[in-house]
Amino acid sequence: MVFWHPRGFRTLRALEELIRRHAQADGFAEVRTPQLLRQPIWEASGHWQHFRENMFVANDALAVKPVSCPGHLEILRRRAPSYRELPLRYSELGLVHRNEPSGTLHGLFRLRQFTQDDGHVFCAAEQVEAEVARFCRSLSTLYRALGFERVLVSFASRPDERAGSDEVWDQAENMLQQAAKSAGLTPEHVPKAGAFYGPKLEFALPDRLGRRWQCGTIQLDLVLPERFDVDYVDAAGARVRPLMLHRATLGSLERFLGVVLEQHDGRLPAWLSPDQVAVLPIEPAQHDYAQELTTELERVGLRAVSDLSRESLARRVALAHDGGTPYVAVVGRRESQARSVSLRHAGEQRVLALADAVRELCLACAPPL
């Protein structure tokens, strides 16, 4: 499990905010579900039978959640929606726990506690194709905005250890394969790698070293809606079982941060950097102006820090650079008098009026979506 220090936590929060906005733009309503759920819920979901060795069981009646699916099903069951409300989309930045073997743990890439950008779509059978295509388009836009042009797609079919009949699996696999084809995908088939409740499409991102990291996924589930006895009311007033799509865009946010750090050799893009601007006064006489600039940058939502230490300017610039801060704003006597900023970035230096510098930094450090 991660100890998030202040700078790392700022980066995690920036990523969470981006994913939260992305889910909202995709029509998902954000929810939050309990960390602990009782055994009967996990028995209904099948995790007690098929996933228990990977769960942290608090006692004979409670377990810490490894996924958010049962909680979302409970929310839907209490809502009992009409067909007019479908598709219903719930999202959650869920903190989940899985009892991974110690030998498989690997920095941010494989943890026992992580944040999953979980989402579930409840829809009618005729809506599945459109929802899968919608997800694939949205995911492609997100990955490109985050700097990943190459995405590897696979289709994972039924595992040996699974819930549901062969007929249910035949239907689910055929529907998901057809939806993938309609979305323009030609996924690689990976036999026996599906979830125990349904087949899935997996989206993996290669880092600059060529390693492949599975991030996004969409899974078609005909099993859990039946087990949780959820339904909606159709146009004729009859109760009908919805289909369920499990989706994640980044999967584990911690793993994705690890991939991004590898991709950028430890120097994060400006929107994700823990400190976006370092404000450095040349002399103590400019401390007040440096603080004013820092306050203004923070007011407009930028992550700015001011270094008022007695180190030399060259040393403070080097420290900001070593810390991965993309922009350095230097203020001396001349800048203080003219109310300007000497802005440094990627080896270039320009003098801008205060308002122009703030405006340019807002644009340069804005999230990609």
Cα 59–Cα 62–Cα 65 angle in degrees, nearest 5? 125
Exposed/middle/buried for 172, CB within 10 Å: 0-12, 13-18, 19+?
buried
From 120, 158, 255, 303, the catalytic residue: 120
Catalytic residue among 72, 246, 247, 344: 246
Contact 353, 342 (CB under 8 A): no
How far apart (Å, rounded) are the C-alpha atoms in residues 51 and 348?
54
Catalytic site residue 215?
no
> Given 26, 116, 136, 316, which residue is catalytic?
116
Residue 52 DSSP label = G
Is 116 annotated as catalytic? yes
- Beta-carbon count within 10 A of 367 CB: 16
Active site residue 120: yes
200 annotated active-site: yes
115 forms beta bridges with: 95
Question: Exposed e or buried b for every residue in 77-87, given b needs 16+ CB within 10 A?
Answer: eeeeeeeeebb
Active site residue 47: no
- Please report how the helices 354-364 and 287-299 are oriented relative to each other, as an axis angle in degrees rounded to 10: 40
The catalytic residue among 26, 118, 221, 275 is: 118
Out of 112, 200, 303, 344, the active site residue is 200
What is the C-alpha to C-alpha distance for residues 278 and 294, in angstroms, rounded to an integer? 8
Of the listed 22, 26, 47, 69, which one is catalytic? 69
User: Is residue 26 among the annotated active site residues?
Assistant: no
Is 22 noted as a catalytic residue in this protein? no
Instruction: Determine the Cα–Cα distance for residues 362 and 276; give it in Å rounded to an integer.
Output: 10
22, 47, 98, 112: the catalytic one is: 98
Q: DSSP class of residue 93?
A: E
Closest CA to 26 of 133, 154, 178, 174: 133
Give the span between the Cα atoms of 249 and 141, in whole angstroms: 11
Catalytic positions are 69, 98, 116, 118, 120, 200, 246
